[in-house]
Amino acid sequence: MSLADRRPGASKGETVKKETADTMRTRPGWDEYFLGFAAQAATRSDCLRAQVGAVIVNGRRKVKGTGYNNSPVGVESCLARGGCYRIEHGIESGTRYETCRSIHAEQNAIIQAGEDNCVGSAIYVFGHDQVCILCKRFILNAGITRVMLQKSAGGPVLEIDPRDWRKDL
């Protein structure tokens, strides 16, 4: 069994091809498949600055939670308001989180999944190529063991072992 087979949600990084009676069909690898779920989740975002989606997948490749960045239940979003405080005031991404109305996609996915479903799982995040310090803490505390990031469709995919963050927090 390869390392890729043992990691939650991991794929061998190759496209599987299957011949049918009259056509050749291409099938995505597991990482590509779950990043596609995260990309779809990102379409629900009500954030004006970034549309981010996340999917938590256990070791048996079962989806346990999804999330996207949006305002908390009952709180008017920047989309509904027609403006973003952070954009209007030139606040740099990754700073001054207290000025943001939204909850991050990673946090929403963890909340939806619950800790029991997160331990030993992977999280796939579409729309960013980094993880903020708050989400790093959530991911570590939830017991997630693999992070896959893709900023945009067709862009590079980054794989992170969240345990590497412990020394920096």
57 membership: H or E segment, kind and range: strand 53-57
d(CA 57, CA 33): 11
Q: Could you list the active site residues?
A: 106
Is the Cβ–Cβ distance between 45 and 51 less than 8 Å? Answer: yes
Dihedral (CA of 156, 162, 165, 169) sign = positive
In whole angstroms, what is the distance from residue 70 CA to residue 47 CA? 6
* Nearest CA among 147, 117, 119 for reference residue 132: 147
